Amino acid sequence: QQWARIRGSNQSEAGFDVGVWADDSFVIVGDTNSGTTGTDAWLLRYDRWGNSQWDKRLGGAGNQWGTGVLANADGTVTMVGRDYNNKTKSDILLARVGPWGYSDCQKAASCGKRSLAECDDNNPCTIDGCDTIDGCTNTPAKAGTSCAVGKICAGKVCTGG
């Protein structure tokens, strides 16, 4: 045995699957019942030495269980599980989170290796966005979108109408 870790709280936690990256870091999926809203699916990421990197609860009304996980080559995590919201029968729960457990750039407060503010290219003919993996995105606005008085977007260019 090289090391051992125990994670949990005052209730019931369980791990059901492990995904491993090329650098031997890994993610565990399971569930935790240590909250106030029932059972939540739980993702936990560790480095190769067993040091916790982050953990993320995926829950809501009712109960959610994480049962399978993929450690994707781009660093993201894809998990599958079950959702039961106490009003309908069980549904499939599917989620993807970024390498640091975030599902969107606003929560991560960064866009890849850049700040969110750096994603604005000051072009009125692009929709500035962020992908936690790929970084900033500057998607061309829909053709014909107004970009200035009497001008419209044609691709990423603001031209005379």
Per DSSP, helices labelled H in the chain are 105-108
Integer Cα distance of 68 and 90 in angstroms = 16
pTM: 0.63
How big, in percent rounded to 5, are the helix, strand and coil portions of the chain? Answer: 5, 50, 45
Integer Cα distance of 156 and 115 in angstroms = 22
pLDDT per residue over 102-154, tens digit each? 666 666 666 666 776 777 888 888 887 776 556 777 888 888 888 888 899 98
Q: Helix or strand or coil: residue 106?
A: helix
CA 102 to centroid of chain Cα atoms: 4
pLDDT per residue over 38-70, tens digit each? 888 999 989 888 888 888 888 777 889 999 999
Binning pLDDT at 50, 70 and 90, where does residue 75 land? confident
Residue closest to 56 by CA, chosen among 47, 46, 45, 72: 45
